[in-house]
Amino acid sequence: MLTFMPFARVTGIELLAARKDEVVGKLDWAAERTTAGGVLHGGAIMTLADSTGAVCAFLNLPDGARTSTISSSTVFTGAVRSGSVTATSRPLHVGRTTIAVRTDMSDDSGRYIAHVTQIQAVLTN
> Over its length of 125 residues, how does the chain's per-residue pLDDT go in tens digits?
777 888 898 999 999 999 999 999 999 999 999 999 999 999 999 999 999 999 999 999 999 999 999 999 999 999 999 999 999 999 999 999 999 999 999 999 999 999 999 999 999 97
Domain count, the chain: 1
Domain that holds residue 30: 2-123
* Buried/exposed 45-62: b ≥16 CB within 10 Å, e otherwise: bbbbbbbbbbbbbbbbbe
pLDDT at 4: 83
Q: What is the CATH number of the domain that holds 23?
A: 3.10.129.10
Global confidence as pTM = 0.94
